[in-house]
């Protein structure tokens, strides 16, 4: 947010600034006590313009500068640190070490925590409002935390415009590409745009970004990456012959042009760029902004092109986007999120909504997923898409996630205290959580505070997290597992390396992404892919849940192939806590799986119903099975209950005139064959291997799956099922 002096008095601005950013600054400064390489990196990535200095006796050293401060000064971090620490100097910046020491001394000696200073940046004088906090260490040295706000209403150019005609000056050239650089853009870019307006033309700012550059450098080395950037610079110069091409920052270029066919030129540049690149993830994207207001500064205009670029998101098929009302609204929402987040957190406008998970074997509710919802008193319900990515970018998402964990644990504790049956709840953790804090320690601390057993919380991690922070993730996953938590992979199949992730990371359950149910009724490939995923998961000993279930047809198919849990609007949308509790009282506990039976049904759910269920789940050489398969529960009174029958079993029952319910009665009252099943069950439970009997022309195979107190679960296959049905009826 940029605020100009004419809109506020200095006193009004200071009050507004301090009120809006007080908690952000306190959070940053308090967290500094836990300064580690990981937290240092997270502070450096902040969009807030922040510098941290240490003063010991008469020496002042710069400890770190944030991305926001580097952006303010238009310098790379290494360059800015060099200026601040006296290793470099430049006439275009008032950044000498002596100037920094004077500034720090001025702040440390001030009665107030805010002061206003004038500094020269890129040959423009800027008015900066600085807010500082001091912290004295045990050895007597002082830490000085300074965050900067550029009032920028009175920038004054201090170099002659004649230099504009000499872009070949070394200070205006990018060392790598030979193109003009950001220094030239900041000094003369606006003049170029205004001149074009004066000529009656419509200038356009195009910001290009190279995607997948990190992966390219990792694969081919940085020298090849430099050659790729040089190639792109040459392509842009050749394509935009009448425009101005600038090397902006690491992987970004800017084109100022009046070409009306700029979209065609962007597409041409993209085709030339990707030609010969084998890495499909390395590409270019563009953000476009029409410059129409001659009073608009270069930085403000460029920021809108940057917003248009960011609006393209991670969709590699979206080559460009023009700044429009949708972008403006999106980033307006971003500003709203950042300025109201702390209030929303304190007042619990952000709260969990709960979406039920259904056990396909029993039809009971076996758990919930806690999903963050922002219930704003002015704007209503904010979509997670509005605030999640913003908070991740600002490294604040861990505060939201931990608030959800806190509220979930409070709910579980209160329900247990009130005697309300409650099922385990899964909570989502962001990749950023693993970067900015010890997320295991934080979650476990909250759980212990509310005296909740760990099996009540399931940890969900997005598949995309695995490739971004693998080191931190492996360590945290090990801690979670050792403490008794289950870890679930969310959105399985949505990433580029799903199968490799299953090999490298130890998960307990995979949540199959809803994308596989898209066009389910009309695309038979969906069924093949889903069956293959479930079959593979069973062989790996992983539990399965499918998201996005919306129809009975989808639910029946997933149950048939042995997908253990189902989630989606077919059963319920995410609900606030009050509605969840109301449904529990309304439906009665018969609709809810007792938590003590979770492990029992989980063990039974690992039976592979797509291949021979008599063999171990990790045996790879299996054949597709056409035999009738059933899952049967034995109770303490030796009664048998059919929980599952497959399509082959159901078809033969229908041919014999039975429903699943009437057949269950038949096997319970058929004396000979009832006892025959009980004997096979007892044998398999004792030996932990399948028990087999061939008699009167049919063969029964029974395998023990799970046990809990007075109940046991078995899987059963029958060869020559028609003969078995006939004899069971006869012996009743």
- pLDDT digits over 635-677, tens only? 999 999 999 998 888 888 888 888 999 989 988 887 777 888 9
pLDDT for 13: 40
Distance CA 481, CA 424 (A): 16
Residue for token digits 């003009």?
180
Fold of 629-730: Beta-Lactamase (3.30.450)
Q: Identify the top-confidence range among 219-223, 234-238, 610-614.
A: 234-238
pLDDT for 621: 43
pLDDT for 153: 41
Residue for token digits 């919380």?
457
Distance CA 479, CA 247 (A): 45
Distance CA 72, CA 394 (A): 17
pLDDT for 443: 97
Domain with CATH 3.20.20.450 in the chain: 349-605
Domain with CATH 3.30.70.270 in the chain: 161-323
The token pair at 28 is 């940053």
pLDDT for 23: 43
Fold of 5-157: Beta-Lactamase (3.30.450)
* Per-residue pLDDT band at 31 (split at 50, 70, 90): very low
Handedness of CA 65, 68, 69, 71 (dihedral sign): positive
Strand 380-382 with 365-376, pairing: antiparallel
> What predicted TM-score, i.e. pTM, was given to this entire model?
0.67
Whether the predicted pLDDT of 400 surpasses 90: yes
pLDDT for 222: 79
pLDDT for 613: 77
Instruction: Find the angle CA(558)-CA(564)-CA(568) to the nearest 5 degrees.
Output: 65
Q: Over the stretch 541-554, which tens digit does the pLDDT of each residue have?
A: 999 999 999 999 99
Counting every residue written for the chain, the total comes to 732
Domain with CATH 3.30.450.20 in the chain: 5-157, 629-730
Give the distance, in angstroms, between the CA of residue 24 and the centroid of all CA atoms in the same chain: 22
* Higher per-residue confidence, 314 vs 288: 288
pLDDT for 78: 87
Q: Over the stretch 248-301, which tens digit does the pLDDT of each residue have?
A: 988 899 999 999 999 999 999 999 998 867 666 688 999 999 999 988 889 889
Distance CA 183, CA 382 (A): 40
Determine how many CB atoms are found less than 10 A away from the CB of residue 98.
10
* Per-residue pLDDT band at 498 (split at 50, 70, 90): low
Whether the predicted pLDDT of 133 surpasses 60: yes
Q: What are phi and psi of 352, to 5 degrees?
A: -80, 135
pLDDT for 495: 63
- 288: β partners: 206, 322
244-249 sheet: strands from edge to edge: 244-249, 252-257, 204-211, 283-290, 320-322
- Percent of the chain residues past pLDDT 90, beyond the cut: 45
109 contacts: CB under 8 Å, gap ≥ 6? none
Whether the predicted pLDDT of 512 surpasses 50: yes
Q: Which helix (H) or strand (E) holds 436?
A: helix 433-436
Class of domain 349-605: alpha beta
Distance CA 384, CA 599 (A): 32
Whether the predicted pLDDT of 433 surpasses 70: yes
Nearest to 283, CA basis, from 246, 324, 235, 248: 235
- Window from 10-14, 245-249, 558-562 with minimum mean pLDDT: 10-14
Name the CATH code of domain 161-323 (choices 3.90.660.10, 3.20.20.220, 3.30.70.270, 3.40.50.300).
Answer: 3.30.70.270
Averaged pLDDT score across all residues of the chain? 83
Q: Over the stretch 49-81, which tens digit does the pLDDT of each residue have?
A: 888 888 877 778 888 888 888 888 888 888 888
* Per-residue pLDDT band at 11 (split at 50, 70, 90): very low
306 contacts: CB under 8 Å, gap ≥ 6? 207, 287
**What count of Cα atoms within 13 Å lies in the side-chain half-sphere of residue 729?**
11
- Window from 235-249, 264-278, 350-364 with minimum mean pLDDT: 264-278
Whether the predicted pLDDT of 354 surpasses 90: yes
């Amino acid at each position: 947010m940029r605020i100009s002096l004419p809109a506020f008095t200095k006193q009004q601005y200071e009050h507004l600034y301090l009120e809006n950013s007080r908690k952000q600054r306190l959070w940053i400064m308090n967290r500094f006590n836990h300064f580690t390489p990981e937290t240092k990196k997270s502070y450096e990535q902040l969009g807030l313009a922040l510098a941290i200095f240490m003063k010991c006796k008469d020496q002042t050293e710069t400890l770190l500068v944030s991305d926001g401060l580097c952006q303010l000064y238009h310098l790379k971090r290494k360059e800015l640190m060099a200026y601040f620490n006296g290793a470099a100097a430049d006439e275009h910046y008032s950044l000498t070490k002596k100037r920094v020491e004077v500034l720090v001394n001025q702040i440390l000696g001030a009665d107030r925590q805010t002061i206003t200073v004038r500094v020269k940046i890129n040959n423009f004088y800027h008015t900066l409002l600085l807010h500082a906090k001091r912290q004295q260490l045990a050895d007597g040295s002082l830490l000085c935390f300074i965050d900067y706000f550029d009032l920028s209403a009175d920038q004054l150019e201090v170099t002659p415009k004649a230099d504009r005609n000499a872009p070949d000056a070394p200070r205006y050239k990018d060392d790598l590409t030979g193109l003009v650089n950001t220094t030239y853009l900041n000094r003369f870019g606006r003049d170029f745009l205004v001149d074009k307006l004066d000529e009656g033309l419509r200038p356009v700012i195009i910001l290009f970004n190279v995607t997948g550059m990190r992966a390219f450098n990792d694969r081919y080395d940085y020298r090849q990456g430099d050659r790729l950037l040089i190639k792109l610079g040459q392509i842009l110069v050749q394509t935009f012959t009448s425009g101005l091409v600038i090397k902006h920052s690491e992987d970004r270029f800017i084109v100022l042009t009046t070409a009306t066919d700029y979209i065609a030129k962007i597409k041409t540049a993209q085709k030339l760029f990707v030609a010969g690149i084998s890495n499909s993830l390395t590409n270019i994207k563009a953000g476009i902004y029409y410059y129409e207001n001659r009073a608009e500064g270069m930085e403000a205009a460029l920021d809108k092109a940057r917003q248009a670029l960011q609006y393209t998101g991670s969709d590699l098929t979206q080559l460009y986007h023009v700044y429009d009302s949708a972008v403006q609204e999106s980033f307006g929402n971003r500003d709203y999120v950042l300025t109201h987040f702390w209030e929303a957190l304190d007042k619990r406008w952000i709260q969990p909504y709960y979406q039920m998970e259904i056990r396909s074997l029993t039809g009971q509710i076996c758990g919930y997923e806690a999903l963050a919802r922002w219930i704003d008193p002015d704007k209503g319900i904010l979509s997670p898409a509005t605030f999640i990515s913003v908070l991740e970018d600002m490294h604040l998402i861990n505060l939201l996630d931990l608030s959800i964990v806190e509220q979930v644990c409070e709910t579980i504790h209160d329900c247990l205290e009130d005697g309300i049956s409650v099922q385990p709840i899964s909570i989502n953790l962001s990749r950023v959580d693993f970067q900015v804090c010890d997320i295991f320690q934080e979650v476990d601390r909250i759980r212990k505070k509310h005296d909740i057993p760990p099996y009540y919380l399931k940890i969900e991690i997005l598949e995309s997290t695995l490739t971004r922070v693998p080191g931190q993730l492996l360590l945290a996953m090990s801690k979670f597992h050792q403490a008794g938590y289950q870890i679930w992979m969310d959105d399985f199949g949505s990433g580029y390396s799903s199968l490799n992730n299953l090999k490298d990371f130890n998960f307990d359950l995979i949540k199959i992404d809803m994308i596989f149910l898209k066009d389910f009724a009309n695309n038979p490939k969906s069924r093949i892919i889903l069956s293959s995923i479930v079959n593979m998961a069973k062989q790996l000993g992983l539990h399965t849940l499918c998201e996005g279930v919306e129809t009975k047809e989808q639910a029946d198919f997933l149950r048939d192939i042995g997908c253990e849990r189902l989630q989606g609007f077919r059963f319920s949308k995410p609900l606030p806590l009050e509605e969840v509790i109301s449904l529990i009282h309304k439906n009665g506990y018969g609709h809810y799986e007792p938590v003590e039976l979770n492990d029992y049904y989980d063990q039974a759910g690992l039976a592979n119903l797509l291949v021979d269920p008599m063999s171990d789940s990790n045996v790879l050489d299996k054949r597709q099975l056409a035999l009738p398969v059933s899952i049967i529960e034995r109770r303490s009174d030796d009664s048998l209950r059919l929980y599952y029958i497959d399509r082959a079993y159901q078809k033969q029952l229908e041919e014999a005139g039975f429903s699943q319910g009437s057949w269950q009665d038949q096997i319970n009252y058929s004396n000979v064959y009832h006892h025959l099943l009980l004997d096979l069950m007892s044998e398999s439970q004792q030996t932990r291997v399948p028990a087999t009997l061939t008699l009167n022309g049919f063969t029964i195979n029974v395998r023990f799956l799970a046990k809990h107190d007075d109940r046991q679960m078995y899987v059963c296959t029958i060869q020559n099922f028609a003969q078995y049905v006939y004899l069971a009826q006869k012996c009743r």
